[in-house]
Structure 1
């Protein structure tokens, strides 16, 4: 039990210490061993059917970062964070995930974790749930809506929405992995996707939902105040929507001085 509590305390401290970095120290590259460990941890992110529809460009070349900042980033904050950060992780969502399926099946067979029956039905199941294109999505939505009153049916999202959800999990894991090494991060959405695609030579097959600057935080004279969070009972419900959850239990932890931003 003590090991479970210790793990919970460690993760709580990690999660609370993560915050959005306002300013990075320039000219501080990441040690290769540190970056490699972060990426290995990021690979553990969950994904639907284990399809892993995400690629990540780790941008460290200063000339390319300068070009990206100058041509593609929106707002002064994103511009100088792109330039000054040790690296920028550019997260890509695959809009044609069926092209990954054969590789995933090969990996599953090698691992021996999945049954043969599961692997034999995987192409059929994924082709229905991850149908690509607006027409295919609309047809499946009509079919599932018609059948839903009779039996439970899956919710059909667009391939973009499905892939974005999976990529967001990867981005979150990446931020925690970086934080565990004492680094700071800043997730960024303010950029011109078309221009980013041109600078980084990204194929049309991929969307660019998120970037994340990572590096060493610049120590300012005055600490930036923490950004507020909604109260637990404004976010979490008990059993049904709107039913208050019991929030009277107090979790006693050591005050580390860290706060989310």
Structure 2
């Protein structure tokens, strides 16, 4: 490990192990090193698989003949195609509490890295809070917040390591995941989502240096890691709204500092990547070209410019342009 003078020491502290002083480095929770045999160690990169320790048992329980069928596929397609960014909401129409609760219940089923769930959603409904939130928005986004009966404010957790004990307890109680896997979570989350620019620079150097020897995780900044996970939740929220016949408008034109102040979101821990106003689209005048369903859809690049087969630039053929 001559490429980094102190990497042997760092690797030992990170819970890595190299059998016989040769070969690839292996990962194991530090607390387990003394009682484990080299032959049972897991590859370092395996600790970063969100399905580690659980995938095999879950696959055994899958009924491979079950499916949502054509009706389910058709319903999902309609929900996806019905979703578009709504420019104006009907301020006279409200969302039933049970509908909103059902949407949020589906949203919370979204996947996140290691099931850490590093996000929160604050639902703004009262007129007083809508006024305060609208004052934090830029341009026409203010009017959308005032018109829409509901606006969902998604906050990304910038200290996800604090969530790990709760995740361990939840996974242990609900799914009975192996302790060996649960013991890796603190290190895995800290490695991928640890704080500090210096820490990120070191992790990037470390994984880049190790990559020629064995697969290593790509290291994002803490903000990017949490934003990625929060964006998944926001996507599920918008599709759930579409399924329930509601319209949405995702917005990033706002002052996140002011939003956190008004909504009492701890600025030392969270950041706001996305705000989604939700409701019913304002009926368009008969002369509006957007009354045509096709006109509502924003255009997309040709599939062959975005989706590739096997290698970048090799177009994947046969994809319909919806």
TM-score scaled by structure 2?
0.74
Alignment-derived partner of residue 197 in structure 1: 260
Counterpart contact for 2:308–2:314, Cα < 8 Å:
yes
95, 99, 102: which one aligns with 1:37? 102
Alignment-derived partner of residue 282 in structure 2: 218
- The 1:180–1:81 alpha-carbon spacing in structure 2 relative to 1, beyond 3 Å, is same
Distance 1:182 1:250 in 2: 25
**Runs of at least 4 residues off by over 6 Å:** none
Distance 1:144 1:250 in 2: 39
Distance 1:125 1:135 in 2: 18
Distance 1:250 1:213 in 2: 30
Alignment-derived partner of residue 128 in structure 2: 63
> Aligned with 1:151: secondary structure?
coil
- 1:154-192: CA deviations, max 9, x gaps? 111111000000000000000011111111000000011
Distance 1:3 1:45 in 2: 18
The reply to whether residue 48 of structure 1 matches residue 113 of structure 2 is: yes
Alignment-derived partner of residue 233 in structure 1: 304
Alignment-derived partner of residue 180 in structure 2: 117
Alignment-derived partner of residue 91 in structure 1: 154
The reply to whether residue 155 of structure 1 matches residue 218 of structure 2 is: yes
Aligned-pair distance for 1:112? 2.4
- 1:43-78: CA deviations, max 9, x gaps? 110000000000000000111111221x31111x21
- The 1:171–1:144 alpha-carbon spacing in structure 2 relative to 1, beyond 3 Å, is same
Aligned-pair distance for 1:121? 1.7
Aligned-pair distance for 1:4? 2.1
The reply to whether residue 21 of structure 1 matches residue 86 of structure 2 is: yes
Alignment-derived partner of residue 200 in structure 2: 137
Aligned-pair distance for 1:115? 1.7
The reply to whether residue 73 of structure 1 matches residue 137 of structure 2 is: yes
Structure 2 residue runs without a partner (length 5+)? 1-64
Distance 1:215 1:83 in 2: 11
Distance 1:63 1:3 in 2: 42
Aligned-pair distance for 1:193? 1.2
Aligned-pair distance for 1:26? 0.7
Alignment-derived partner of residue 227 in structure 2: 164
> Aligned with 1:92: secondary structure?
strand
RMSD of aligned alpha carbons: 1.7
Aligned-pair distance for 1:38? 0.5
- 1:182-226: CA deviations, max 9, x gaps? 110000000111111221121121000000000011101125223
Aligned-pair distance for 1:250? 5.8
Q: Mean alpha-carbon deviation: is it higher for 87-96 or for 119-128?
A: 119-128
> Aligned with 2:153: secondary structure?
strand
Structure 1 residue runs without a partner (length 5+)? 252-258
Q: Which has the higher contact order (CA 8 A, sep 6+)?
A: 1
Distance 2:245 2:123 in 1: 18
Alignment-derived partner of residue 146 in structure 1: 209
Greater Cα radius of gyration, structure 1 or 2? 2
Q: Number of paired residues?
A: 249
